[in-house]
Amino acid sequence: MRELASAYSQRVPGLDAHSLILGLDGIELKYMPMGERDGAYDPEHHVILINSKVRPERQRFTLAHEISHALLLDDDDLLSDIHDAFEGERLEEVIESLCNVGAASLLMPQSLMNEMTQRFGYTGRTLAELARRADVSHSTALYALAEQTPQPTLYTVCAVSRQEQEEAAGALKALSVRVFGASPGVKYSIRPGTVIPDDHPIARALDTGFEMSEQSYVPFRSGRRMPAYVVAYPARGFAVTASFTFHDLKEENG
């Protein structure tokens, strides 16, 4: 799927919505209200539909996702292999996952991923810079970066709720985990809604507006503090992207 997406990205003049659709001959792009759905690809009528009511960055990812559906349907060998290996609901889940992989590969080319990781490593700052440069959500960048991270690492996007942002200045704010992801092989997770302690590097990055890089811990909801090297980077608005690298995870698991 990555190969299909990479080859497609070489055929289009750019990665904006207008340019992305140009690689599909005869396919029309339409924006319209779609309720709960973000988008759809209708091969019979040669059209990709995008929900006009969602955020622009979500629209762009959805377009890349639906383009990936079109690429997958045109690749008989890959499609046949998938249908041979899966069926029913599991088949649909695998197809959706593959199209998410394709979308991420379209919007975040390997050349960009390499540039960001060479400059900033596999860190919370890389996550923020990747989202900014590719013009994708932090969640999209997180999953793409986590998938390619070679060392045991947990990533999070933490934020203050919109309601708390709108409260009067000086009101107490609750910085909490919104999204998490992990590199291959890491079984630990930090659940969305987990509150970040005020003395944690993530909280200090939000308060000061500066990147924090130091030996610290993962603030699990249970209260357990697992040692990890933390890089916390203040991102858009009231958000912080962070990485937790477990240098001794192999020893602990072994």
The predicted pLDDT at position 96 comes to 94
pTM: 0.81
The predicted pLDDT at position 162 comes to 58
118-145 tens-digit pLDDT: 999 999 999 999 999 998 889 989 999 9
For residue 46, give the DSSP letter.
T
Indicate the average pLDDT of the chain: 90
Distance between CA atoms of 5 and 23, rounded to whole angstroms? 11
Q: Choosing from 66, 129, 147, 166, which is the catalytic residue?
A: 66
Q: Are 160 and 175 in contact (CB under 8 A)?
A: yes
Please say if the pLDDT value at position 157 is more than 90: yes
The number of beta carbons lying within 10 Å of the beta carbon of residue 172 is: 6
Distance between CA atoms of 138 and 123, rounded to whole angstroms? 13
The predicted pLDDT at position 168 comes to 41
Distance between CA atoms of 220 and 192, rounded to whole angstroms? 10
pLDDT band at 85; cut points 50, 70, 90:
very high
HSE at residue 137, side-chain half, CA atoms within 13 A, is: 17
The predicted pLDDT at position 210 comes to 96
The predicted pLDDT at position 226 comes to 94
Distance between CA atoms of 202 and 211, rounded to whole angstroms? 9
| Residue 93 a catalytic site member | no
The predicted pLDDT at position 174 comes to 85
Beta-carbon contacts of 236 under 8 Å, excluding residues fewer than 6 positions away, are 138
159-197 tens-digit pLDDT: 997 554 444 445 556 899 999 999 999 999 999 999 999
